[in-house]
Structure 1
Amino acid sequence: MLQIDLWKRVMIALVCAVGLLLALPNAFYTQVEQSNDAEAAIVAADETPERLEVAGQWPSFLPSGLVNLGLDLRGGAHLLAEVQVSDVYEARMTAFWPEVRIALRDVRGEVGTFRRQPSPADEIRVKLSNPDGLDTALRILRALATPVVTLTGAGANDIEVSGQGDIVTINLSDAEKVASDDRTVRQALEIVRRRIDEVGTREPTIQRQGADRILIQVPGIGSASELKDIIGTTAQLTFSPVVRQGTDANASPGVGNKLVPSLDEEGLYYTVESAPVVTGEELVDAQPSFDQNGRPAVSFRFNPAGARKFGDYTAENIGSPFAIVLDDEVVSAPVIQSHIPGGSGIITGNFSIEESTNLAVLLRAGALPAELTFLEERTIGPELGQDSIDAGKIATIVAFVAVLVFMALSYGLFGIFANIALLVNVGMIFGALSLIGGTLTLPGIAGIVLTVGMAVDANVLIFERIREELKSGRGPARSIDEGYSKALSAIVDANVTTFITAVILFVMGSGPVRGFAITLGLGILTSVFTAIFVTRLLVVIWFERRRPKTIEV
């Protein structure tokens, strides 16, 4: 009959208490956020009396998780970037040239001497001194091709080799360009994500749009220009042999070389080999540090493959200059004094502490494979965010009050029980969002408003069923018990179908759609729990104390 075991009562009360306790920090949002930031700074060995005082604003024994506010609520930066995928073609051909040179060197007796000719960025042209060896050169170079690893490029090779007269031309195939474009955008997406994560911002939105664009939204950051400084630097680091240095900005570097300016000394230019000895991709760590003179610098460490190449080159070229090139500017060009084993070193220059820290972040996160062109940038101020919050509050309060009044007028005391459960329901939604570190956006607030309306549906089904049982002549206890048991299947069916919709929206959608789906899905779970268990517990406790002969629903 109408009874609930003690252990079930304790479990229901415990779940409600935990949910409301997790939601509690959001009622003191600014205070808790400042305390959390101070705690993070203290953990990072930056302990000061002011930070200790701020960290003590919120008791350590209480939960401190907060619902993250999205860009439309908190303000922040919005960028739409286009990845210049064609930049990778030139880098690919530059890296491929040493293989071509080695392959042709092995058959020099048939092809004669060979020399690389000026060509577009996405191809290599080689002139043979013996045109009769053209077929041999084509056969040898075509053997260097590898299959394209994509479903759309199945059966195709990554390069196409053709020849006419004494010229051999090597191009990237169309299938390889398509695959390369996709890899480049994916790599840029991941590196942008790493760089933003390194800064420690909360819940950024980083997603691909179209074939070669990336949408970046970071709540809480000062401006779009600040965000561009973090992610826009390509940070391509190479360690390249120096051919010569001079002051002529128009000097011809020669085939296989490139002319790059000095970062520190204006008017000084270095001619370096285009094919580097080691690249930043082989770095495993980079940290801000100081050189032997106490000036800011960046220490680095290579992976085993990079360490071996770095060590071998320094052992074989003692006394030669060696350029550290960052984004086509020579940071420094020290002369190799001795063999450098172990694969670690230090980058010195006229850095400030902030610049050395930012450079370490960029190198640690990895180099962007291609340049980003920013097509759209917006700084969303906190005033706009506050307007959104106020509008969301008004919408939620109006919906909330309307539902509370309707339930109280329609169902009397039972409606008040449903209203108490509704208050607990909303608190549990915020508790669940805080627990999972969810982000609340305007569509998310819309999901909560919708949940407020849907949360009473289950109670309406139950109460209407109780009315029907009372009209059929059953007693109060029997009517209440039958009302809950017979309405259960309809409640479960209705909410399961809506929950499936929320899951599909979350999986297939992105950005605002996901925010709506998260709050809707969590709201369905909490509303079913409060309707089936919380309101029933309230009704049972009331019934056990009053033992009414008749009830009005």
Structure 2
Amino acid sequence: MLQIPLWKRVVIFGVVVFGLLYAMPNLFYDRVERHNDAVAAIEAQGATPEREADAALWPNWLPNGLVNLGLDLRGGAHLLAEVQVEDVYAERMNAYWPEIRDALRDERETVGTIRRQDAPAGELHIQISQPDGMARAMEVVRGLAQPVVSLTGVGSTDIEVAGDGDMLIVRLTDAEMAATDDRTIRQSLEIIRRRVDEVGTREPTIQRQGTDRILIQVPGIGSADELKSLIGTTAKLTFHPVVGRTSDSEEDPGARNVLLPSMEEEGVYYILEETSAVSGEELTDAQPTFNQQDGRPAVSFRFNPAGARKFCEYTSENVGALFAIVLDNEVISAPRINEAICGGSGIITGQFTVEESTELAVLLRAGALPAEMTFLEERTIGPELGADSIEAGRIASMVAFAAVLVFMALSYGWFGIIANIALLLNVGMIFGLLSLIGATLTLPGIAGIVLTIGMAVDANVLVFERIREELKTAKGPARAIELGYEKALSAILDANITTFITAAILFIMGSGPVRGFAVTLGLGILTSVFTAIFVTRAIIVIWFDRRRPKTIEV
């Protein structure tokens, strides 16, 4: 018999209502967006009358999820950056030097005195005064090697050691360089994502392309230059002992020293020890503040326990000496250490504006980029172009919608009207699912929805044509409808499962616009099958129970 239990009807229409309820906020997009921004600002920075007014624009008990608009719909900035992974090799060798130095000093009787020499990036050259002890020196350094932490470098060590006369040469292995490249890109991705998230942008696209490139797309940001200023600097904070001060930019700083310009004093340069005493990587927090002495904007910072201990030890041992605070190879300030600083916190002062101190705090909290980035491609997409895209997508959707509705009504009469109702519910449920999962809608995503509109009625066409076939065999209306749904089910599932597999492959293998198309297509397939198999059948059953027609026309 053509019947659906009451509990199944409740579940079917409950799912529909649930989907439409989550889609509803998109009808009031601007109002809900202002509400969400105000709520987030109140939680982070406290309430103000303006924020409370915006928060009251939408009831808190209603869903407030929105379909995020992608770069091509909302406007924003697009960058393609190349990470200079080679920069990390020299840092790896610098980090190895203290450990190797201490190990070789313990073998002084065999290797003699040691002196570090200049070397290419990724190599460490150490001259020993007793070449006869080269074999022992190589053995000691090889004992410091660590296994490569990567799937492709299993069984390999991170350094290889060679001797050339009185010169001990230490270099990174190929396996370690490949692993370092991968770690550098992953770390850069995470830091960029944190920096962009700090600004509060919605659904940025930050993903790896190739071996050393990163694609960054941020909807809603003003320009590519604004995005570059946020992520383009390494924000590398270090603390160095001061060797001297000069006004000659060409002066030779000496071995293992660097010459860096002063940010505050034009024409002044500081000679610093190349090896930093404390690194900004050991910071745990940074906040914009004001210097209590002169009221100028500044940035307060706090170290983790290891950094606080190192900072305390160094300042205790060097009271009276100058100590340079270096940001991105510029000396912010070089104060004198008047006493030991053991509280684990401090303040960075300089010629900052409020905006600059806020941006610096954001960069320091997110961490330093491990390597410099070169921007190969940059584009700014204005909101006007996004509005044009939305309008074009809206017109295309309406034309497709109207054509399908008219075709179904003319071809299948009352049954076609029922299919049209299910189609309207289907589109609403797609937007509900997009809002629920926080997906981003792009122009290809709109194309996926338009394609779904055409595909959504395909299942109903299969059912209705099967009902027609059953009616020709002189079966009653109830039996014909029941057999129509049963016999069309396998064809509906086969067609939609294969299409869903295609959408899944596009999502896994694709990126950017391709994934946006795959998301809307995949969700559209799920809602289409649900509405065709369950919703239209439930509506037909309810209509049939009330009218009890002796004959039907499809």
Alignment map for 1:399-410 (pairs within 5 Å): 399-410=400-411
**Aligned-pair CA distance for 1:81:** 0.3
- The aligned counterpart of 1:552 is 553
SS at structure 1 position matched to 2:320 = coil
Cα distance in 2 for residues equivalent to 1:443 and 1:83:
29
Q: Which runs of 4+ in 1 moved over 6 A?
A: none
- The aligned counterpart of 2:188 is 188
Alignment map for 1:11-410 (pairs within 5 Å): 11-45=11-45, 47-293=47-293, 294-410=295-411
Cα distance in 2 for residues equivalent to 1:142 and 1:506:
46
Unaligned stretches of 5+ residues in structure 1: none
Cα distance in 2 for residues equivalent to 1:173 and 1:21:
58
Cα distance in 2 for residues equivalent to 1:243 and 1:283:
25
**Aligned-pair CA distance for 1:116:** 2.1
**Aligned-pair CA distance for 1:340:** 2.2
Q: Does the 8 A contact of 1:90 with 1:121 survive in 2?
A: yes
Cα distance in 1 for residues equivalent to 2:353 and 2:241:
27
Q: Which amino acid aligns with 1:182?
A: D
Q: Does the 8 A contact of 1:72 with 1:385 survive in 2?
A: yes
Per mean C-alpha deviation after superposition, the further-off stretch among 460-469 and 410-419 is: 460-469
**Aligned-pair CA distance for 1:225:** 0.3
Unaligned stretches of 5+ residues in structure 2: none
SS at structure 2 position matched to 1:63 = coil
**Aligned-pair CA distance for 1:154:** 3.5
Q: Which amino acid aligns with 2:449?
A: I
Q: Which amino acid aligns with 2:149?
A: V
Q: Which amino acid aligns with 1:318?
A: V
**Aligned-pair CA distance for 1:517:** 1.4
Cα distance in 1 for residues equivalent to 2:441 and 2:67:
7
| Aligned CA distance change for structure 1 residues 197 and 4 (closer, same or farther; 3 Å) | same
Q: Which amino acid aligns with 2:272?
A: V
1:149-201 Cα offsets, whole Å, 9 max, x none, are: 33433443322322233222222223322222222112111111111111111
Cα distance in 1 for residues equivalent to 2:134 and 2:482:
92
Cα distance in 2 for residues equivalent to 1:431 and 1:535:
19
Cα distance in 2 for residues equivalent to 1:36 and 1:145:
52
1:31-50 Cα offsets, whole Å, 9 max, x none, are: 32233223333333353433
Q: Which amino acid aligns with 1:251?
A: E
Cα distance in 1 for residues equivalent to 2:90 and 2:81:
21
- The aligned counterpart of 1:521 is 522
- The aligned counterpart of 2:434 is 433
SS at structure 2 position matched to 1:44 = helix
| Aligned CA distance change for structure 1 residues 134 and 61 (closer, same or farther; 3 Å) | closer
Taking every aligned residue pair, what percent have the same amino acid on both sides? Answer: 72
Cα distance in 2 for residues equivalent to 1:28 and 1:178:
50
Cα distance in 2 for residues equivalent to 1:232 and 1:129:
44
1:430-472 Cα offsets, whole Å, 9 max, x none, are: 0110111110111111111111111111111111121112111
Cα distance in 2 for residues equivalent to 1:20 and 1:167:
74
1:258-286 Cα offsets, whole Å, 9 max, x none, are: 11111111122222221212212112222
1:325-382 Cα offsets, whole Å, 9 max, x none, are: 1111111222222222242222222222211111111111111000000011000111
Cα distance in 2 for residues equivalent to 1:405 and 1:480:
23
- The aligned counterpart of 1:7 is 7
| Aligned CA distance change for structure 1 residues 12 and 164 (closer, same or farther; 3 Å) | closer
Q: Does the 8 A contact of 1:114 with 1:128 survive in 2?
A: yes
Cα distance in 2 for residues equivalent to 1:40 and 1:542:
47
Cα distance in 2 for residues equivalent to 1:494 and 1:120:
60
Indicate yes or no: 2:498 matched with 1:489: no
SS at structure 1 position matched to 2:45 = coil
SS at structure 1 position matched to 2:550 = coil
Cα distance in 2 for residues equivalent to 1:273 and 1:180:
26
SS at structure 2 position matched to 1:2 = coil
Per mean C-alpha deviation after superposition, the further-off stretch among 184-193 and 330-339 is: 330-339
Cα distance in 2 for residues equivalent to 1:96 and 1:486:
71
Cα distance in 2 for residues equivalent to 1:244 and 1:84:
31
| Aligned CA distance change for structure 1 residues 11 and 142 (closer, same or farther; 3 Å) | closer
Q: Which amino acid aligns with 1:116?
A: R
Q: Which amino acid aligns with 2:236?
A: Q
Cα distance in 2 for residues equivalent to 1:164 and 1:468:
89
Cα distance in 1 for residues equivalent to 2:450 and 2:226:
35
| Aligned CA distance change for structure 1 residues 75 and 469 (closer, same or farther; 3 Å) | same
Aligned length, in residue pairs: 553
Q: Does the 8 A contact of 1:238 with 1:280 survive in 2?
A: yes
Q: Which amino acid aligns with 1:445?
A: I
Per mean C-alpha deviation after superposition, the further-off stretch among 140-149 and 311-320 is: 140-149
**Aligned-pair CA distance for 1:251:** 2.1
- The aligned counterpart of 1:469 is 470
| Aligned CA distance change for structure 1 residues 243 and 20 (closer, same or farther; 3 Å) | same
- The aligned counterpart of 2:535 is 534
| Aligned CA distance change for structure 1 residues 402 and 328 (closer, same or farther; 3 Å) | same
Q: Does the 8 A contact of 1:94 with 1:274 survive in 2?
A: no
1:86-127 Cα offsets, whole Å, 9 max, x none, are: 111221222222122212221222222232223333322223
Q: Which amino acid aligns with 2:238?
A: T
Cα distance in 2 for residues equivalent to 1:62 and 1:230:
35
SS at structure 2 position matched to 1:202 = coil
Q: TM-score, normalised by structure 1?
A: 0.96
**Aligned-pair CA distance for 1:288:** 1.6
SS at structure 1 position matched to 2:413 = helix
Per mean C-alpha deviation after superposition, the further-off stretch among 141-150 and 408-417 is: 141-150
- The aligned counterpart of 2:453 is 452
SS at structure 2 position matched to 1:505 = helix
Per mean C-alpha deviation after superposition, the further-off stretch among 418-427 and 437-446 is: 437-446
Q: Which amino acid aligns with 1:356?
A: S
Q: Which amino acid aligns with 1:114?
A: I
| Aligned CA distance change for structure 1 residues 41 and 152 (closer, same or farther; 3 Å) | closer
Q: TM-score, normalised by structure 2?
A: 0.95
Q: Which amino acid aligns with 1:374?
A: F
Q: Which amino acid aligns with 2:325?
A: I
Q: Which amino acid aligns with 1:259?
A: L
| Aligned CA distance change for structure 1 residues 106 and 29 (closer, same or farther; 3 Å) | same
Q: Which amino acid aligns with 1:174?
A: D
Per mean C-alpha deviation after superposition, the further-off stretch among 323-332 and 47-56 is: 47-56
Q: Which amino acid aligns with 2:89?
A: Y
Cα distance in 2 for residues equivalent to 1:408 and 1:314:
83
**Aligned-pair CA distance for 1:428:** 0.6
Cα distance in 1 for residues equivalent to 2:160 and 2:43:
55
Q: Which amino acid aligns with 1:366?
A: G
SS at structure 1 position matched to 2:380 = strand
Q: Does the 8 A contact of 1:116 with 1:255 survive in 2?
A: no
Cα distance in 1 for residues equivalent to 2:548 and 2:129:
108
**Aligned-pair CA distance for 1:14:** 2.2
